[in-house]
Amino acid sequence: MSHINVLQNGRLLGLPDGNVLSCCPKMNLLAISMNRTSIWMFRFNGERVYSVNNKAQILGLQWNSSGRFFAVSGSDNFVNIYDTNTGELVNKFATHTSLPITLISWASVKSEINAASEKALPFIKLFQQDLLKDLPKLSHEVNFYDTERAGGVISLQNASAKSQSMSISATNTNEDDSLLDYLLVVNANAMFTATFNNLFTVPDIELPEDCKFLRHEVKDDFFNQAFLAEKSSGELVLYKMEFSLSEPRQLSYVLEILKYASLLISMLNHITDQVNEMQKEATAFIALFDRYLSNLKDAIKEGSSTEEDTSDISEDELVEVLMEIVLTGDVPDYLNDYWLNQFGERGLNRLSKTGNDLYEATRKTAYAQVILAIEKILIILSDVRGICLACSNLYGDPLGMNVETLENSIELGKSMLVSFYKFILEFNEEQEQFNVFCNYVKVEIIERLSKQESDMESFFKAHPEIEVSSTVTMHYIDHYLTRPKIAAYLDVRTSTNDVVFQSTLEEGSLIKKLTNFKIEINQKLLPGIQEYIAGKSVFKSLGTMKASKANVDCHMVFSNDKILIARKSESKLDIFTFDKVGNKKSHEIEFPGVILSYELMSDSRIVLLLERSNELRELMLFDVPKSGSNIAFENLVIKQVLPFDTQSAFIPTYMTLTKDPSSSSSTGCVFDKTRRNYVIFKID
């Protein structure tokens, strides 16, 4: 039996502007717009949790199906995606910078559909293997606190684990692999953009002309979408969006491609974020090393120059001085102050710690994040190549893709994978020799010099023989000191450095390889898919509804296999029911009072806020009539009525309702005219 259960009465802080009044049943939160540009988030008990400044006039707000994210459309033509738990911005994009946003809708659709016959169904996935599920999760694919599952995500020197795992560019707003997060944004009532999982965007899908789009609904099937529009004549038109594909099985392949395209973008963005962080930390280390070596160079110049010769010391001369120190074991007197005071043990410890932190973090990030992400991309590209070949051979339709582009992408990915393994091997050797160099400086230079004039006997007693390999030290000085491999592979900018510079790799830096890989996918592969989806989208009119003299206040919802549309005037509610082929039934209900607000429910029920008289207002729940054109109010099947006495302090004026996607219940909120006092209710 249907029930309206009151959950909470409360009063909000602040002065709501009335533009956005929305509740999230999944998170038990109220989103209220304030001052036209801010969203304040409240708990159901009225406690304010946080606020976000949208920095532009807010047009609308939509929750995603999990309730973990919400989208805000603004007058600046941007859509901002926020994390519901924290209010943090996770994405910001403009589907069209010059066209205003006129409608926004957010839902989840199934990522798989049954397009096979009953006999073929048991065998359709007989030979399919989901290799991605067997691989470890990347840090952006799991909660950032779960570092064990994230392949051992660690912080780089100045970066937190959170900044790695919660990358804005890699955030996937979908938590269920069986679904696709589907955000629709209509611009200027002329075209719309579809964004999947907050990652893959299909722009510029053209809409029917001469229409103002009022509502969009999708049940759980991307290929079953409905648009409600108003023509310039005032007539309402119901459009169904279809896809001009010859075989039902192609629809299933399209969904797979949309899912894979989102994953590709997520993985590429994640790799980019991780490599950028590695590059940033390498730059900081090399700048520190260059500063110490530059000071050494100045000390050499000051100590060895004469009045006649005041030329600068080259990096080759610096290397020669260091090599001579290692070969002879003798440090020139004019460098004593540098080694003991300017650089000293404190500088050595800082250099050693910074360098080893960098090497360790880079190695772990490369293994656990970058290499794993590349391997996942190669699996995805191989699967997409298989789909492309299958569709080409079976239907003569490669789904907007090119096999050659896919094969080029795979080869570029393989090459980048090899380069990352080579990078790790080479900087492993560099780190080993870096540590030998640091140990040599510590023992044979700094410690020896500090005891040279006072207690050499204790030095020789502590170090009866040379403990550090002179050969390895000289090899490091000659090969890595002024041309570290990590700078070459990560394309660290060294143009302003004095001593440490970037060497040139024959095969190119990792940054260059990553850039080429992204160009192949982002500029060659994905645009073809975008154009294909946009080109296959067609709109079919299912039916029309005559123009109304009153201002149009319409709602639409899928109810089983039918579409329900309602339109209200002051005291009258028109209800239209359309089936799959466009057959229409209509009902007109006259109410004994003014309809203040109403909402359609997917189970053919309506919740309505009615002003019976100056003394009485009612929140009522009733069934959509099954027969008859003109329905008397007395003949409605009313499930429950919740009365409000207007003599009290609370006078209900506006009502909003949000369905819980994971259950059959809906949660709503009734506000008074100030939008500050409210009653939260739940309908089972």
The tens digit of pLDDT for each residue in 421-454 reads 999 999 999 999 999 999 999 988 888 888 876 7
Give the domain extent around 318: 270-303+313-534
Task: Output Rg (C-alpha) for the chain, integer angstroms.
Answer: 34
Quickly tell me which residue has 């970037």 as its tokens.
Answer: 502
Residue 642 falls inside a structural domain: no
- High-pLDDT (> 70) share of the chain, %: 90
Q: Which two tokens stand for residue 38?
A: 């801010």
What's the confidence (pLDDT) of residue 130?
A: 77
Coil, strand or helix: which one is 641?
Answer: strand
Determine, yes or no, domain membership for 358. yes
Domain count, the chain: 1
Q: Helix/strand/coil (H, E, C) string of 22-55?
A: EEECCCCEEEEEECCCEEEEEECCCCEEEEEECC
Answer yes or no: is 98 within a domain: no
Decide if 108 is inside a domain.
no
Cβ atoms of residues 609 and 618 within 8 Å: yes
**pLDDT at position 156, please?**
33
Distances (CA, A) of 273 to 69, 340, 376, 524: 22, 40, 16, 22
What's the confidence (pLDDT) of residue 360? Answer: 96
For 560-618, the pLDDT digits (tens) are 889 999 999 889 999 999 998 899 999 999 999 999 999 999 888 999 999 999 889 99
What amino acid occupies position 117?
Answer: S
Answer for the pair 102, 186: CB distance below 8 angstroms, yes or no. yes
What confidence tens digit (pLDDT) does each residue in 165-215 have?
A: 334 465 788 878 889 999 999 999 999 999 999 999 999 999 999 999 999
**Pair 584, 577: CB distance under 8 Å:** yes
What are the Cα distances from residue 172, in Å, to 180, 220, 267, 492? 10, 19, 10, 30
307 confidence band (pLDDT: 50, 70, 90)? low
Q: Is the pLDDT of residue 157 over 70?
A: no
Q: Tell me if 466 is assigned to some domain.
A: yes
Q: CB burial class (10 A; 0-12, 13-18, 19+) of residue 163? A: middle
pLDDT in tens, 311-320: 788 889 999 9
| Residue 2 pLDDT | 66
CB atoms within 10 A of CB 593: 15
Which helix or strand (DSSP H or E) is residue 58 part of? strand 58-63
Rounded to an integer, what distance in angstroms lies between the CA atom of residue 41 and that of residue 55? 16
Residue 570 lies in a domain: no
pLDDT top residue among 414 and 250 = 414
Residue 502 lies in a domain: yes
pLDDT band, residue 151 (cuts 50/70/90): very low
Residue 386: how many CB atoms within 10 A of its CB?
Answer: 12
Could you tell me which residues are beta bridge partners of residue 679? 9, 670
Residue 77's contacts (CB-CB under 8 Å, 6 or more residues apart) are 94, 95, 96, 97, 98, 99, 100, 101, 187
Q: Residue 225 falls within a domain, yes or no?
A: no
Q: What is the mean pLDDT of residues 78-104?
A: 94
Query: pLDDT of 247-296, one tens digit each?
Result: 888 898 999 999 999 999 999 999 999 999 999 999 999 999 999 999 99
Give the model's confidence band at 51: pLDDT under 50 very low, under 70 low, under 90 confident, else very high.
very high
pLDDT in tens, 630-658: 899 999 999 999 999 877 778 999 999 99
Residue 158 is encoded by which pair of tokens? 């100045």
Written as six digits, the tokens of 669 are: 């909120």
Determine contact, residues 187/96, Cβ cutoff 8 Å.
Answer: yes
For the stretch 18-42, pLDDT in tens is: 999 999 999 999 999 999 999 999 9
- Name residue 230's amino acid: E
Average pLDDT, the chain: 88
CA–CA dist 114, 186 (Å, integer)? 29
